Amino acid sequence: MMQSRNPLMLGCLGLLLAPFFSACAFRSGNMEHYIGPVLFRYAMPPNNNAYVSQIVRLGPSAEAGISWGVAMGLSERITVAPLIAKTGQKNQTANYSHWLMPLGFSQTPAAGEWNFSLLYLCVEREPGSFFLSRTITGVEIVFGEEANALTVGFAHRTLFTPPDNAISSLHFEDARPLKSRAIVWLDVPEHGNLSDSLLKEVTK
Amino acid sequence: MSIHTRHGIYLGLLIPHMLMLGSCQNVLGFSTATKFGLDISQRTDQTIDISMGYDRTEVASIPAPKDDDATESGVGMDKDNTDAYSVLGTFVVTYGNPFLDQPLVLDQFFATGMAARKAARSPELQKFFGEAAGKIATKNNASTQPGGGQ
């Protein structure tokens, strides 16, 4: 017959294993911190036409900062930040994005492919994301800027918030998020003489 | 009443209040949602949505000026420098069953505020939006006529 287990030992074991089976996220204005295991990939110019991040967490997870919540299951968060284009010129200025795993073997994860962070992932970027996609399969309760929801089952939400006094273009495919295309034109000419690149993007 | 029932009632009252307090901001936003199961959430237009089973929504939330601004539409004001909130855009959503490799595809173009007013003066965009509006009107007419459909 199996002997009763020591609750103290089980508790210690649980505490030791907890970081490996739960991920906590803290997001502020331009910094994101992920403690615990997360699967992620990202894309940025010049290879891509937008700044895209995709972060997947499995199991129990929590988030704080701009949104607060807890989730149990498979959760995915995709953000898209645009290129900033000047309507009269061809060159494009851009946001910035830095991904770092200070406690990992390879501190700088590769762009364009899946990476795994076991302990800690830090993302620094300009707060210019204008498209957000959140998916949960499981149970989630979240409150804040990104969503206010209680979900039991499956939910996929997207939110597009174009900036004021600008022209924005977004192409997003759920199956190929890294191929997203996002451009913002800020200085629109007075008499509507729009550049060829803008018109091509709009009428595509 | 048992203590468990009371907790259930408190929780039921608390969640909608928390949802309403969450993000009461007056911003331009376009959102989509696909849900399966139980979901209580606040939409972009700040209404509470409760669904059980399958549900699909697309919401465009455009901030409107107060009534006192709207009634005097620019009288006594420099129209070029004042902007209630102009939006010019196209919003194309294609979706299918997410479990059967029918992904969500979004194509969105939006000009907002003063940029929308300036863009509206572009002959190319006027032509583009005219054609797009014509296609939508033709489709709507075909679907509303007897025997018509898509």
* B115–A185 CB contact, under 8 Å: yes
Give the tens place of pLDDT for each residue, A75-104: 999 999 888 876 444 445 556 778 888 877
Q: Is the pLDDT of residue B103 over 50?
A: yes
- CA closest to A192 among chain B residues: B122
Q: Look at A163 and B26; give whichever has higher pLDDT.
A: A163
User: Which has more confidence, A180 or B13?
Assistant: A180
Give B123 or B54, the one with higher predicted confidence. B54
Calculate how close chain B gets to A97, using CA atoms only, in Å. Answer: 24
Q: Where are the alpha helices (DSSP H) in chain A?
A: 7-21, 196-203
Residue pair A135/A153 in contact (Cβ under 8 Å)? The answer is no
pLDDT band of residue B21 (cuts 50, 70, 90) is: very low
Mutation target among B18, B27, B39, B90 for the A interface, most CBs of A within 10 A? B39
Q: Which pLDDT score, from 0 to 100, does residue A71 have?
A: 92
Task: Work out the minimum CA distance from A78 to partner chain B, whole angstroms.
Answer: 13
Rounded to whole angstroms, the Cα distance separating B67 from B35 reads 35
Q: Which residue of A has its CA nearest to B24?
A: A145
Whether A204 shows a pLDDT value over 80: the answer reads no
* Interatomic CA distance for residues B136 and A145, integer angstroms: 34
Is B59 within 8 Å of A161 (Cβ atoms)?
no
Q: Is A154 helix (H, G, I), strand (E, B) or coil?
A: strand
Contact A183, A109 (CB under 8 A): no
Q: Residue B70 corresponds to which tokens in the numbers above? A: 């709207």
Cβ count near B28 (within 10 Å) = 20
Place of tokens 């409107």: B64
Residue B85 has pLDDT above 60, yes or no: yes
Could you tell me how many CB contacts below 8 A there are between chain A and chain B? 163
Q: Which amino acid appears at position A52 of this protein?
A: V
ipTM over 0.85: no
pLDDT of residue A44: 85
Q: Is the pLDDT of residue B5 over 90?
A: no
Pairwise CB contact (< 8 Å): A168 & B42:
no
Q: Is 60 exceeded by the pLDDT of residue A109?
A: yes
φ/ψ of A137, rounded to 5, equals -120, 105
What is the average pLDDT across A22-46?
A: 87
Where is pLDDT greater, at A19 or A176? A176
Q: Each residue of A138-171: pLDDT tens digit?
A: 999 999 888 889 999 999 999 998 888 888 888 9
pLDDT band at A129 (very low <50, low <70, confident <90, very high): confident
Give A70's pLDDT tier (boundaries 50, 70, 90): very high
Instruction: Return the closest-CA partner of residue A98 out of A30, A146, A46.
Output: A30
